[in-house]
Structure 1
Amino acid sequence: MIPTPDLSHLTEQDKLHVYDPAEDTFLFLDALEQDAEDLKGEKPLICLEIGSGSGCVSAFIGSILGSTNTLYLCTDINNRASDCTHRTGRHNKIPLDPITCDLARPLLKRLQRSVDIILFNPPYVPTESEEVLSAQLGRGISGSWAGGTNGMEVTNRFLETVEALLSERGKFYLVTLDGNDVPEIRERMFRAFRLQCQIVAQRRAGIENLHILQFSRVNR
């Protein structure tokens, strides 16, 4: 088993402002570990995590890929999350490059069809639209969970950009729950962008049924 990244450097104050790894994070790590050999075999050059939070997921995939030439880009709207991500990379000897921004907005033109691995554990909890707007503007910890209508308002914005970012051999991993309407997401991404999807992991966590979706191009 691949060890979970060491987050002992994060303080209690950090955890008041940045999402602390939970069941969805650990399911994400399990899915990536399950695909570890395939991911290493692809020799990815660019890995992009959206909403990196503590940096746990990016540090984990860095430990999977080992000593490579991979560039690990990590975005988050929360400046404190970017700081935690940087420190998590340093603490675990993985060269993470955090960028404080909205989703992948400043990277879209530079990274067109060049990202080999995209990772996104989005704010997927259904809330009022006003709550997700406030959370995104506030750029604090509520931005890590408040998802708006069907928990999909933030996710939908990013899904529109995935095809433009993903390399020909790329894989996109997305965390969802039942309330996000997984069949609709899969059908829409195939119809609009010709991205095929498989559910690579799922687990019940309390009242939630979590899924990890993996998307890739049909012509792979």
Structure 2
Amino acid sequence: MDDTESTTTSADENTGNLCDNPTRDTLAEGLLGLLKPTVDQLDERVRSTRISQLELKQQIESLNEELSKVREALNNHPDLDPYVKKLIACKHKVTVVLNVLQASQDRLNEIRRMINKEKSVRPTVITGALPQEPEQSTSGVISERGTEDSFLLIDALEKDLNYLKEKNPTFCLEVGSGSGIVITAVSMAFPETFCLCTDINKRACIMSKSTADHNNALLDSVNMNLIDSFINNKFDLIIFNPPYVVTESGECGSKDLVASWAGGKNGREVTDKLLDMIPKKLAEDGVFYLLLIEENIPKEVCDIMSCFGFRHECVIKRVVRNEQQMVMKFYR
């Protein structure tokens, strides 16, 4: 037999051995038996993982929808600033009403004391006695002007009394006199001074004159808005207790009781109009007293007056019914 034939026969025998080998088959079955539980376990884990991935995908899609709703809600949130401003304005109005009610109660108590004692003497302030308002002032027409605001101004003028005596004012003006307590006190302190007062409310003008007459003080009351109609550089002393409550701009400019407190934006819309007039109406060496609260941003007021060439000084500061009030003095 040649070499070619021998090689072919050997290859055929090896092929047969590969196809029919009991030992190999036994080993393969043993290995499969060993690996099958692990493969089955791995297959089960793969199946569980795929199920978990599907559930996670559904949860992610659900979360995505919720986030979209939240994003839409955030983009469409209502503007709360106007409501906050209205609440602040309402708070100031409530404070003013409380002041009115307290002032009315104080006046009623004073009337009772007058009836019991036949004569009531008020504490010394500027002239030795505070001016007394006629009893009809308790009607509420201008009662806000009879509250602590007026007494704070009077206390400021008393504190500055020596300074004012050195000034020896010839013409004095109170803007927005209300019940007339402050200008009456000035008239009683400086009987040689010609005192004027203005108010946009005609009934307030009548009350101011009545208060002066009730205290034997001399003054004239003029029904007008601010001081634009007066001649320039005439007044040695100007006093202003403005409507300072922060309100909507539309509430400014009325001629009823609202005019006594409605100050518009920052509570300064009326005050700022008067500030523009002060340099023209005040005498060269005159002095201007202005009542403010913190919400009016007093620093801005001082900056405005500084631009007009005025120096400033805080004469008195006091917390009145949860409001930080102050009386500022402006002079050249």
Query: CA-atom RMSD, angstroms?
Result: 1.3
Q: 1:163 to 1:11 in 2, by over 3 A?
A: closer
Q: Whose Rg is larger? A: 2
Q: In the alignment, what sits opposite 2:311?
A: 196
* Structure 1 CA distance for aligned equivalents of residues 304 and 145 of structure 2: 31
Q: Given that residues 142 and 178 in structure 2 are in contact (C-alpha distance below 8 angstroms), is that contact kept between their aligned partners in structure 1?
A: no
Structure scoring higher RCO (CA < 8 A, sep ≥ 6) equals 1
Q: 1:73 aligns with which of 193, 196, 202?
A: 196
One-letter code aligned to 1:171: V
Residue 62 (structure 1) aligned with residue 174 (structure 2): no
Q: 2:161 aligns with which of 32, 36, 39?
A: 36
After TM superposition, the structure 1 stretch with the greater mean CA deviation from structure 2, 91-100 or 116-125, is 91-100
Q: In the alignment, what sits opposite 1:122?
A: 242
* Structure 1 CA distance for aligned equivalents of residues 246 and 197 of structure 2: 24
TM-score by length of 1: 0.90
Q: 1:46 aligns with which of 157, 165, 171?
A: 171
Q: 1:215 to 1:11 in 2, by over 3 A?
A: closer
After TM superposition, the structure 1 stretch with the greater mean CA deviation from structure 2, 3-12 or 179-188, is 3-12
The 3-state SS of whatever aligns with 2:135 is: coil
* Structure 2 CA distance for aligned equivalents of residues 99 and 54 of structure 1: 13
Q: Given that residues 49 and 74 in structure 1 are in contact (C-alpha distance below 8 angstroms), is that contact kept between their aligned partners in structure 2?
A: yes
Please state which structure has a larger fraction of its residues in helix.
2
The answer for unaligned runs of 5 or more in structure 2 is 1-123
> Structure 1 residue runs of 4+, over 6 Å off?
none
One-letter code aligned to 1:131: E
Q: How does 1:59-208 map to 2 (within 5 A)?
A: 59-65=184-190, 67-68=191-192, 70-107=193-230, 110=231, 112-132=232-252, 136-137=253-254, 139-191=255-307, 193-208=308-323
* Structure 1 CA distance for aligned equivalents of residues 310 and 207 of structure 2: 32
One-letter code aligned to 1:152: R
TM-score by length of 2: 0.60
One-letter code aligned to 1:187: D
Equivalent pairs: percent with the same residue?
A: 36
The 3-state SS of whatever aligns with 2:229 is: helix
* Structure 1 CA distance for aligned equivalents of residues 256 and 266 of structure 2: 21
Q: Given that residues 59 and 96 in structure 1 are in contact (C-alpha distance below 8 angstroms), is that contact kept between their aligned partners in structure 2?
A: yes
1:157-203 deviation line (CA, Å, top 9, x unaligned): 00000011111221100000000001111112102x00111000000
